[in-house]
Chain A
């Protein structure tokens, strides 16, 4: 078994036009920078991207939007991206906005082998249009829930802090976010890591994503890790 790839270019080489991709990250935190750059260089088009956000104008998924590689975006929050807004309002880009917890849990459901989930998020709103509503007595109250389907993606592309040659992954801090959920949900999952180590080097107790969910792994490079909102406390003079 060899899951190790040379680099991002090799790992995404067979992603075809029209594929459905999941991309991990929250804002610009924990995004698969290397794979996004490789997809931009490869010029693959007509993509459906499932990702919590759509990057900013000149970084993250924003780079793919700029090249008009994305046909449809499925996200929970898409502010902070003028090009995105332009394509959305002009009708060039199809967009489906869904609640953040619904997005996360639909990915999780796929990885857990469950076709659907029930969530109260969006009941009574336009998110509920056309969806099955069920009333449950649960957690001490009677309430309506929406049925939401598990996500199926051709490729899931995630970023981890450390990974081993078996594909086991460990994430750092809030860069974890959607990455472990999307890693579970891809028919084929590609992981880029800051540090790739031989099997046996990671503490099995510390592994967040077991390697069974990961098909390809490579050592990433030149991480920019751009900060969207730099907020600090000034030291006393």
Chain B
């Protein structure tokens, strides 16, 4: 089974040199720690920055320089600032190559829910609806089951939707899945995880074909 950092490390392997990438809050943010050697990507922060760098050294925090999670950050050489309309403009226009975000539920047709639990939590969608409606390539980093042991990989989302038919790939503690017309196609297993366990914990359509490789972590 993968921990949060291992999920992030596995997603980082999807990065290609020259990509513009938007990383959401939570596990997706950790992806920045595992960018492979020789791969150079530009991180977009939707509050108005291309070229996000690591956290500042202690004592060098600047309240005017934060990321979309409101964390203090730095810039890398060659960065650019812009307003929120241009930020979502470049997302809508398909200029951002890859979006990685978290989810509460993902359905086997690519629907995603991650912004609201009726009667319980109403924080808002922030930029998630814009991102999922426009990004060319969306990878979701999520836990396969919730704390109650129920699958969050469903045939249909039960929570209010963030976007429809948009998720292309999901990485969970159990493995890597592509979402195709046939449902969740198992591509890789996490070490120590069996196909049976994945079947047991997946409520939506699951496709398992041939020998499934175990991922390197």
Name A's B-contacting residues (CB within 8 A). Answer: 26-30, 52, 75-79, 85, 88, 95, 97, 99-105, 107-108, 119-127, 139-140, 161, 172-181, 208, 225-235
Contact = CB atoms under 8 A, between A and B. Distances in A.
Contact of A231 (B47, B73, B129): B73
A177 B71 CA distance: 15
A235 B70 contact: no
16 contacts: A27-B47, A27-B70, A77-B125, A100-B125, A100-B130, A103-B84, A119-B130, A120-B133, A122-B133, A123-B164, A161-B64, A173-B65, A181-B83, A226-B63, A227-B61, A233-B54
7 cross-chain pairs, A with B, having the tightest CB-CB distances, nearest first = A101-B88, A101-B130, A124-B164, A79-B123, A104-B84, A225-B63, A120-B133
Contacts of B65: 173-174
A126 B160 contact: yes
A121 B130 contact: yes
Nearest to B125: A99
A104 B57 contact: no
Contacts of B84: 26, 52, 100-101, 103-104, 177-178, 181
A228 B70 contact: yes
Contact of B129 (A88, A99, A140, A179): A99
A180 B83 contact: yes
A29 B72 CA distance: 10
B88 A100 contact: yes
Given A100-B126, A232-B72, A179 B83 contact: yes
Contacts of B162: 125
Interface of B: 45-49, 54-67, 69-73, 81-85, 87-89, 91-94, 111, 122-130, 133-134, 160-164
A116 to B, nearest CB: 15
Given A26-B47, A232-B57, A100 B127 contact: yes
Given A105-B88, A125-B162, A231 B123 contact: no
A41 B66 CA distance: 29
Contacts of B94: 139-140
A120 B81 contact: no
A233 B71 contact: no
Contacts of A88: 122
B62 A173 contact: yes
B92 A101 contact: yes
A79 B64 contact: no
B83 A233 contact: no
A104 B87 contact: yes
Contacts of A123: 133, 163-164
Contacts of A105: 85, 88-89
